[in-house]
Amino acid sequence: NSTIESQTQYRVRELETDSAYCAELSSGFDAYLKALSGSSRRQLFNKRKRLSVMGTVEVEQVTLNDWNGFVETLNEFFRHRWNIKKMLSNQRQEFLTRLCERASINDPKFAGSLLKLDGRAISGLVDLDYAGKRYNLMAGITPDAPAGVSPGLLHFGYSLEQAAAQGITT
């Protein structure tokens, strides 16, 4: 917090705290996978084969130019799965857009993506790369996800693999 305050004109105000999980990727994605328990490895990686048998699998990186369509896709997931009208309020959408567009805070970079099966989005991740770390801010999956796989967890696995390939360590 003090680093951000010293580099910008902004004061940091903590509204709430939360627990989070951290993946150590400094030794690479393969080392990370080897350190996982068998069940975690199956959910994040091994079930990719099962998903690929169901159709063509693609991870599509989303740019800020695609932001509105991306948010609408995630809103649809939330509407149909949990009966939540909007995953992000207009104010929060605006905050994330501005955060990703600013270069004054060590250049945060939007790294959101969609996991698609036969061209249809089945999972979405709102990720942000900042100071050598990838932060997952939000995730959503389609309510009619294919049986026998966890598209959200597989999508996290793809995101972790991509982050490690880009030199992101956490």
Region 98-109: what's the mean pLDDT? Answer: 64
pLDDT digits (tens, 9 = 90+) for 114-133: 999 999 999 999 998 888 89
Per-residue confidence band for 99, with pLDDT thresholds at 50, 70 and 90: confident
Q: What is the three-state SS of the chain?
A: CHHHHHHCCCCCCCCCCCCCCCCCCCCCHHHHHHHCCHHHHHHHHHCHHHHHHHCCEEEEECCHHHHHHHHHHHHHHHHHHHCCCCCCCHHHHHHHHHHHHCCCCCCCEECCEEEEECCEEEEEEEEEEECCEEEEEEEEECCCCCCCCCHHHHHHHHHHHHHHHCCCCC
What is the pTM for the complete model shown?
Answer: 0.83
Per-residue confidence band for 160, with pLDDT thresholds at 50, 70 and 90: very high
pLDDT at 78: 86
> 140 vs 13, which has greater pLDDT?
140
User: Tokens 């627990």 sit at which residue?
Assistant: 19
* pLDDT score of 45 more than 90: yes
pLDDT digits (tens, 9 = 90+) for 72-95: 898 888 888 778 777 777 887 788
Name beta bridge partners: 141.
Answer: 123
